[in-house]
Amino acid sequence: ARRAAPAAMAAAADAALARLKLPSNESLQEGHALAADEQIYLADTITPRLRRRQATLAAIDVTSCVRIFRGMITNNKGPLDQRLREAIEAYDRAEVFFETDVLAEPDLHGEDVLRRAMNTIVGGEDLYGHLVWCECLGDISAVVDAGVQPADAVKMRCRVMEAVRRLQYRHKTAHIRYKQVYILDLSEISLGSLITSSKVREMTKAIVGGANDFFPETLWKLFIVNAPFVFRSAYSVVSPVIHPTTKEKIKILGSSFLDELERNGVPLVAVPRRLGGGAPDRPLSTLLEGLGPTNPPSLTEPVPLEATLPPPQAMNPV
């Protein structure tokens, strides 16, 4: 009976997706294991170049191994040698990141100020089962005035991203999902300080994009809502730190955004009430209890560390 509920929900979601002319749940690459040629490339080309070779992959959960490969190789753009370098860096970073439980560490100086400035809340799920979460980009100058350094802000943001990652795994869906829908509300943004203060710009870059390198391929859609008309100019300030593949997932919207969210598979019941939806406003800080290190559901058996098939003559994983 417990298995039937997610399956029935997935069927209803697929019917809604069909009405919206969006891809079905089953068609999403996200719910499938690596293909044979991808596994071979991981084993033969990436693993020997990792800091600790097989031990590096063993320190990362299987779903994250797949997620990183998809983000850095399969869905990345650019020359294959560049993608390979980025994949190696991402796997080595992930090994170091997963060595400690970042959510168990004490707050850094000024972390409470950043928490208030971003006001992170969690909503429901989109029609694919992606967790929907929202932040309001508030008074970043207060974060600067509190003496927070950009490097520490990145660490703070990594804690938020890791909490959301664990919450995504806690949700039981019919399909494996490791991506999220992120809504960034700009209704309280201070464009004046962003434009006139280099310290505020540097801090904003650290907050918006600094943690991305530690969480590749976790973004399904980013909706920037309540964006002022002049935001497109300010957006150029932070856009250089956003990966090109990520940019394709971004939609910049004004104050009438709910219809666009629904057209992209985010029903009103999944949007926090603060933004006009029907989901309760659940502050992220209230959901951390018991959110210890978790092993996410595996997309496959452990990623093979040795190739079982002859390596292809030329791989084009895109």
pLDDT at 132 exceeding the cut of 50: yes
Per-residue pLDDT at 189:
86
At 312, is the pLDDT very low, low, confident or very high (cuts 50, 70, 90)?
A: very low
Per-residue pLDDT at 3:
45
pLDDT, one tens digit per residue, over 205-250 is: 999 888 888 999 999 999 999 988 777 666 766 677 676 767 778 8
Measured distance CA(303)–CA(70) in Å, rounded: 13
pLDDT, one tens digit per residue, over 8-64 is: 777 899 999 999 999 999 899 988 889 999 999 999 999 999 999 988 988 888 889
Per-residue pLDDT at 41:
96
Amino acid at 131: L
DSSP string, 213-269: GGSTT-EEEEEEES--TTHHHHHHHHGGGS-HHHHTTEEE--S--HHHHHHTT--GG
Task: Please enumerate, as own/partner, the contacts of 35-42 that have beta carbons within 8 Å and a separation of 24 or more.
Answer: 36/309, 37/312, 37/315, 37/317, 38/69, 38/73, 38/74, 38/317, 39/303, 39/304, 39/307, 40/307, 40/309, 40/311, 40/312, 40/315, 41/73, 41/315, 41/317, 42/69, 42/303, 42/304
pLDDT, one tens digit per residue, over 261-282 is: 999 999 999 999 999 999 999 9
Beta bridge partners of 303: none
